[in-house]
Amino acid sequence: MSDRERAGALAAAGVTVLFWASAFVSIRSAGAAYSPGALALGRLATAALLLGAFALVRRVGWPDRRAWPGILISGLLWFGGYMVCLNWGERLVDAGTAALIVNVGPILIALLSGWLLHEAAPRSLWLGIGVSFAGTAVVGLSMSGGGRSSLLGVLLCVLAAITYAIGVVAQKPALKHGSALQITTWSALVATLALLPFAGVLVHEVAQAPLSATLNMLYLGVGPTAIAFTTWAYALTRTPAGKLGATTYVVPALVVLLSWIFLSEVPGWLTLAGGALCLAGVAVSRRRAARPVTPAVATPPVPAVVPADEELSG
């Protein structure tokens, strides 16, 4: 991969993590008025409509049949199941517990991509994941405030981490048979259809929800879903799944910054230290392995050729 393609993938990943970090602020507002299933359906329906319209303009066709296993798995488990489980789980456990459990996802991605996709996992990746996970734990615990916890909430967060990891690993081979826009669009449509049983609840809650909550739900569909999942797929096409998964550890640090700016939640020193650990771990995980230097092979001396006339005269 050229340096230009590598820079493009890194920029796309940056857009993704920025939108995903902002999603936590929006979910806090929308989640107060919308139940987990209805919020997930509203978010995905918005994304599916936007992506579908854009795909029609770009004349994106029906996906290759070889891409459908990945589309179905990522659509049902990641786009759909992950969002419902996370929305529900964060209502039952404190923020620290949720952050700690859900951020097991990148570790599972690295393990699954090595097992199923045969991707190499260099030492720098595991070291970076370890540092970032420690930073996530520090951020989560410092911001939890000793909140509540429940067994169901913990299990839902575990399920969210598992569905996220499986969805990412399943999407990787699908991107060999379709564009980022194509795979993301159809995955969002699959998830929307799967969540249609929540349509009645969504209609009822839209009528009662404040405008700010509904606008946040629409934003979740446009930014953190339609745009961010497409840029993620673009980056995933050009980046190993394990390494790209590790970049999501930037999200906790960005959540701290955005909460500081938009919610006036001034972070403590422990929270800032945890965010710094997250960023340091991502930097380590993306460090390129040194290329081995091939030792120069000594060229054997060429024996001198004696001319025939000199050989005879001697």
Q: For 35-44, 84-93, 135-144, 232-241, which range has the lowest pLDDT when averaged over its residues?
A: 135-144
User: CA-CA distance, 177 to 69, in Å (whole number)?
Assistant: 11
Over residues 104-130, the mean pLDDT reads 87
Question: Each residue of 144-176: pLDDT tens digit?
Answer: 655 556 788 888 988 999 999 999 999 999 999
Going by C-alpha positions, the residue among 20, 75, 21, 12 that lies closest to residue 239 is: 12
d(CA 19, CA 226): 10
Q: Euclidean distance between the first and final Cα of the chain, in Å?
A: 62
Half-sphere exposure of 120 (CA within 13 A, CB side): 5
Query: For the residues 25-42, what does the mean pLDDT come to?
Result: 90
- Dump pLDDT digits (tens) for 44-91: 999 999 999 999 999 888 889 999 999 999 999 999 999 999 888 878
Residue 275 pLDDT exceeds 90 = no
Confidence of residue 43 (pLDDT cuts 50, 70, 90): very high
Evaluate if residue 310 carries a pLDDT over 70.
no
Residue 294 has pLDDT above 60, yes or no: no
Of 96-105, 135-144, 269-278, 298-307, the poorest mean pLDDT is in 298-307
Percent share of the chain, pLDDT over 90: 44
3-state secondary structure the chain: CCHHHHHHHHHHHHHHHHHHHHHHHHHHHHCCCCCHHHHHHHHHHHHHHHHHHHHHHCCCCCCCHHHHHHHHHHHHHHHHHHHHHHHHHHHHCCHHHHHHHHCCHHHHHHHHHHHHCCCCCCHHHHHHHHHHHHHHHHHHHHHHCCCCCCHHHHHHHHHHHHHHHHHHHHHHHHCCCCCHHHHHHHHHHHHHHHCHHHHHHHHHHHHHCCHHHHHHHHHHHHHHHHHHHHHHHHHHHHCCHHHHHHHCCHHHHHHHHHHHHHCCCCCCHHHHHHHHHHHHHHHHHCCCCCCCCCCCCCCCCCCCCCCHHHHHHC
pTM reported for the whole predicted model: 0.82
Question: Averaging pLDDT over each range in 96-110, 157-171, 295-309, which range is the top one?
Answer: 157-171
Cα gap 63→183, rounded to integer Å = 7
Cα(292)–Cα(155) distance, integer angstroms: 44
Task: Report the amino acid identity of residue 248.
Answer: T
Cα–chain-centroid distance for residue 102? 12
- Whole-number Å distance between alpha carbons of 132 and 138: 10
Backbone phi and psi for residue 303, each to the nearest 5 degrees, phi listed first = -65, 140
Sign of the alpha-carbon dihedral angle for 160, 19, 190, 46: positive
